[in-house]
Structures are given as structure tokens and as C-alpha cells.
Chain A
Amino acid sequence: MSRKRAKFIIYALILAGAFLLLFTPASTVTPFKFSVIQAVAFPIRVIIFPFKELKKIVLYRKTYNEYRSLKYEVEILRDRLNGADEIVKENNRLAKLLDFKRKLIFSSVSANVVGRDPTNWNSSVVIDRGLEDGVDIGMPVVSALGVVGKVAEVAENKAKVVLLTDPSFAVAGLIKRSREVGLVSGTLQSKCRMRYLSVDSDVQVGDEVMTSKLSSAFPEGLMIGKVMEVFVDSNSLSVLCLIEPAVSLSQLEEVLVIQKR
């Protein structure tokens, strides 16, 4: 066999080996993936720290405006809460009457974002909680503002979360105003889209979208985002909406993993 031919065979084998890697079961490679993240993430965090702080200073105006609007929202909610106080008291009395045992619906664990996928193809982050903290694959991840994503891979003390804007993410969504139900999934443009809404459905720009009870993974009523644009798809006779996520996913630092219902 000539040397050139032997070389060609070796190169072909390398490529075939790489292709076969695609079919490796996820469970066998997950610990290896997380050990690479473990090795690379710390130096990256050290290097990125001054850049992140600088970014915060540059974006101080946006943060300040956000702070002002949230403060305003807190005041409105506090007012509403005072009004609702009487109703809560009445509800408590009735609950006692019925011997209703109140308990916490969800338990959750807080986590810090320690890494993210730098490519434009995927939207995912790495969090510092894993199997040891009760985090498991498929658990919903949220922040104070709404849905963040879903746990996709998990190791002993780290987990990978597929964000709301990743093309492989999907959740049943509901238009809050008109109660129309559709499927919310990610896109490559860091936004979400809502599909399978009937052509006569009542959807407007600015409508709030929340998780629906049809979703098996997410609790009902979590904020997903607001409708930015509405398109009528003439081919499939359905309406498609572009949604701006409620959570600023590029500035995510802390999240909550919802463990059970």
C-alpha cells in the first residue's frame, strides 16, 4: 500500500470517528463535558470579570431606568396588596373552616450563572448547581421576571440550562388577554416565536405571553414575554408572533431552579 493511500485511510478514519461521536449516548459524555467546563470556566471568569464590570458602568443608564420602572411597579403592587389584604383574610378564614392544609406549591434552589455558550447558534448557560443540590434534567429555570429555560444536562455540581431563545427550546404558551394557546420556541435572533395560533386568533402587539397549564414542565402563569410582531402565515393558515423575552438573558447572573410541584 502506498504511503499516500495509507495517509488517506487514516484521515478518513479520523473523520469517521468524529462522525460516530455524534451518536455517543449523552450520559457517557456529560461528565467529560463538565470537566472541560470546570477546567476552562474559571480562567475565563477571571479574565471576563473586569470586562463585565466595565459593561455595567457603560450600561448604568439602562440599569437606572430599569430600577426606576421596577420601583414604580413595586409601589403599584404594594397598593394592590393592601387592597387585597381583606380578601386574603377572608380566604384564610374560609380555608381554616374547610380544614384546608396550606403548603408551599413549589420548592426551588437558587443558582449562579458561571458560564455561557459563546456561539450564536445556541443559547445556553452553565449554573453552579447540580445533582448534589437536587437539580435534574427537564427542571424549569426561572428568574424574578419570568421564564429563563430548562435544565438540559446535569453533573454533580453543575448543570447546563437551555435558554428560552434556543431553537431547541419549546413550551406551551398562553396570550394573557385573549387566552389563546400556542407553542413558544426559540429562534436564532435571541427572541422567541409563538406558533400554531389559529388564523382568527386575537393577538396584538404588546400582549403578554405566559406559560400555559398545557405545559408539562413549567408551572402555569409564569411570564414569558411580550408580543413584538404578529405575522399571518398564509401557507399554514396560522398566526405567528415574535416575542421579546421578559428576562434579559444576556445579563443573567442568578436564577431559580424549580424542583417539584
Chain B
Amino acid sequence: MRNFAMIGFMMAVCFTGEYVCAELFGTWFCPNLLMIAVVFFNLFRGIRQSLVAAFFAGLMKDSFSPQMFGFHIFVFLVCAYLTTFVKLYVYHSGSKESRVLLVCVMTFLCVMIQYVVRVMFVDVDFGQVIRFILLPEFISTAVVSGYVLEQLRKCALKLFA
């Protein structure tokens, strides 16, 4: 139970970080901090805690979004599962670069999954998704992921001690 509360707290902090970035920099600097956190929990705490993190991430995004409830929960849960498979090919234990690469791959997949699910309900232009969603999100997430993963590791060491 304590672990659940700690994961919820860390996800709330990441969501606040995303919110602050969106308020300050608008659409052009919008790192997917929640995705970084989901990947972090998958790498350092295992699939179960990653699923809990994905649930909290989706819950917070769904609450603020006008989309149908469960959309982000579903997308983040799929990403949490996919991380387990992708890390087998991308991640090398102890390598910081491979962690960043894994985050980048998962950010790309997260946008693509969102596009596929969204296109079932709304008319979305793929060109605009690449230009206005994928590129800003991918670049800004890649830029901050090394730092954020390190901070999350420090935070987890204290909270889960």
C-alpha cells in the first residue's frame, strides 16, 4: 500500500512538471515526463510497479482531458507492457545511453499508439501529428530524459528505502 502511495506521489510530481512545461513553453517544449517515469519503474522496480505507475499516469491525463475516460490509462498500460519487450533489445544493464534510447523508443511508440486509438474516434491528420505532436514531444523528452531518470532514481532510493 505504501508503495502504491509513493508511486502515485511520484507520478503526480511528474504530471505537475508536464503542466508547468506546458504553461511556460507551450507546445514546443513538452517532454513526456509520465512516460519517462513509467519506463523508470519498469527498469528499476519491475513490470508490476510499472503498471501501477502507468495507471496513475493515465488517470491524471484522463481527468484533465476532454477525451473519453480510460483513453490514456489504456495507452500507458500498453506502453508499460511494450517497455518489457523493447528493453530486451534496446537496454543494456548499467548503460545510461541505452536508458535514454529506450525512453525515446517508448515516446515514439506512445505517440503512435495514441494516434491509432484516437483515429478510431476522431479525424486526425497524420502529418500534423508528426509535426506538432511527435517532433516536439520526442525531442524535448530526449533532451530531459537523462536528467529526469537520474532524479527519479534518487527520489525512489529515498522514498522506497
Contact = CB atoms under 8 A, between A and B. Distances in A.
B70 A18 contact: yes
Interface in A96-119: 115-119
Contact of B70 (A22, A115, A160): A22
Nearest to A169: B66
B161 interface: no
Interface in A138-181: 152-153, 160, 162, 166-168
Given A24-B70, A33-B62, A121 B114 contact: yes
Interface residues of A, number: 46
Interface string B69-107: 111011001100100000000000000000000000000
Taking chain B's interface residues, is the majority helix, strand, or loop, or is none over half, making it mixed? Answer: helix
B137 A120 contact: yes
A26 B18 CA distance: 26
A22 to B, nearest CB: 5
Interface in B97-152: 114, 118, 122-125, 128-129, 131-133, 136-137
Between A44, A118, A126, the greatest number of chain B beta carbons within 10 A of the residue's beta carbon is seen for: A118
A21 B129 contact: no
Contacts of A160: 66
B133 A120 contact: yes
B77 A43 contact: no
B61 interface: yes
Nearest to B67: A122
A188 interface: yes
A250 interface: yes
A40 B69 contact: no
A55 interface: yes
Interface residues of B, number: 47
A126 B66 CA distance: 10
A124 B66 contact: yes
Contacts of B4: none
Contacts, number: 125
Contacts of B59: 36
B68 A120 contact: no
Interface in A191-208: none
Interface stretch (A46-54, A62-70, A218-226): A46-54
A217 interface: no
B65 interface: yes
B64 interface: yes
A33 B69 contact: yes
B132 A21 contact: no
A29 interface: yes
B20 interface: yes
A189 interface: yes
Contacts of B68: 22, 24, 26
Given A15-B77, A18-B77, A120 B27 contact: yes
Interface of B: 12, 15-16, 18-24, 26-27, 30, 47, 51, 58-71, 73-74, 77-78, 81, 114, 118, 122-125, 128-129, 131-133, 136-137
Interface of A: 11, 14-15, 18-22, 24, 26, 29, 32-34, 36-37, 40, 43-44, 47-48, 51-52, 55, 115-122, 124, 126, 152-153, 160, 162, 166-168, 187-190, 250
